[in-house]
Every structure is written in C-alpha cells, then in structure tokens.
Amino acid sequence: MGSLLSNIDPLYVISGVLVGGLVGFTGVGGGSLMTPILILVFGVHPSTAVGTDLLYACITKTGGSVVHGYNKTIDWKVVGLLALGSVPMTALSIVALYYLGVDSKAVQGIITKTLGFALFFTAFSLFLRKPLMKWYDAKIGEPNPKLVTRLTVLTGAVLGVLVTLSSVGAGAIGVMALVMLYPKMPAQRIVGSDIAHAVPLTLLAGIGHSVLGTINWHILISLLCGSLPAIVIASIASARTSDTVVRVALGVVLLAVVARFWFL
C-alpha cells in the first residue's frame, strides 16, 4: 500500500477531481465519464477501465448512501427489489466474461459496444427526462402495484448486466426508471434508493472483475485521492449551480463519446 500511495499519478487525481465534482453537483456522470476517460484519454484496456471504475463507484457511492441513510431518504424495499434482479444478473455476467475470456477481442468488443449503448441511453435520459416524465404521467399514470414490483426487479436485472459490462447505467438510467415506476416518490428518496442499490451492485461487479484480474489499484487510489474531497466540496456548493446547464453539457459530451465507441 505504501508503494501505491507514493506513486499517485497527478493526472488521474485531476480526473478524479473533475468527475467527482460533476457527481457532487448533479448526482450523475461517475461511470458515464470516468470509464470513457480511462479508455480514450489514458489508453486503459476497456475491461480494466470498467473493473477499476466499478470499485471506484462503490467507494464513492458508499459515502452518499451513508448520508441518505442518515437522512432517511432511502426506500429499502425498492433497493431490495432492484437487488433481487441485479445481483443474479451481475453474477451471471461475470461468469460469462470468465468463460469468454476477459482479454479476448470478442469480449473487448462486447464491452465497448455495451458501453456505447449505455452512454447513449444515459445521454437520452439527461436530455429528455422532463418531456418523458410529462408524457408518461399523461398517458400511463401510476401503474399497477404488482406490475411495478415486477418491473423494478426487471430494472435491477438490466442494470446488473449494463453495469457489469460497462460500469454505466446505475445513475441516470436507474433514476429515470425509478421516477417512471414510482411517480409519487419524493426525488430525494428516488436518488437515495438508486445510490444505495448501486453500492452492492458495483461492489459485487467490482469483486468479480478483481477475480478476473481487471482492477488497476494504482489508478483506483489516484482517482479516489481526487474525487473524494471534490464530491464533498461540490455537494456543498451544488445549490449555486444550474443543474439543467450541467446536465445538457454532460449529455452533449456523452453523445460525442458514444460516436467514438461505436466506431472503435
């Protein structure tokens, strides 16, 4: 550990500061930006970027879960339903990566294409969240409780696959799905529940990637040195920032990244 701390890379620390600050301001942008940065800017192997970002996300979102838990803004029933779908699908995805060979060209292609797909829907949710909510409320309204339960489990299953393969989706996509399924739930409770679910999801996926040998501990520690203090500072200052401007800017960046990944 001493050698890891002595070899902290300032460029990774700066990346952690930028992404951590964005997450603190908006609640999204962690996996959707960190993984592309590692791959496109630093040239990290896709599977290593995903694995490293998963543990990075787990550690950073644990702090958020503690705060939301203290403020009682987590619906643990919803978290449990999401986990009911995500945990087995995460395990199956890790097993699939193991048998396909995590360093093979086929798996690398699957990871990059899945990453592009997840980034596209993240950008889509950032741009069109409000119009979609209005349309959903007018056309569908509040669905049947039994159907909501099944769809929540299904949402968890989809997130389990997406997050394991790309480290993207637990934030913006998860929140958007919960808003549609639970329109009467307060926004803070939706965000808190989504963050709480992301912790076991990213932890399990991260452990799986660790077993596969796709974690770069040097990069992980450098990123955390920048992101952890940045998240705290940005969270305090978030009230002074235009959430809409930041979300639109993030959406534009993500669409550019999507184009890059789909044509790798």
pLDDT tens readout for residues 63-118: 778 878 888 889 999 999 999 999 999 999 999 999 888 777 788 888 888 888 88
CA geometry: angle at 26 spanning 156 and 69, to 5°? 60
89 Cβ contact list (under 8 Å, min separation 6) = 156, 157, 158, 160, 161, 164
Q: Is the pLDDT of residue 47 over 70?
A: yes
pTM of the predicted model, to two decimals? 0.82
Average model confidence (pLDDT) across the chain: 82
Q: Is the pLDDT of residue 15 over 70?
A: yes
Residue type for 200, please? P
So what's the pLDDT on residue 190?
A: 84
Residue from 19, 15, 31, 5 nearest 231 by CA = 19
Whose structure tokens read 């496109």? 40
Q: Is the pLDDT of residue 254 over 80?
A: no
So what's the pLDDT on residue 142?
A: 66
So what's the pLDDT on residue 61?
A: 82
Q: Is the pLDDT of residue 163 over 70?
A: yes
Q: Residue ranges per domain, the chain?
A: 2-262
* Integer Cα distance of 162 and 180 in angstroms: 19
Q: Is the pLDDT of residue 38 over 60?
A: yes
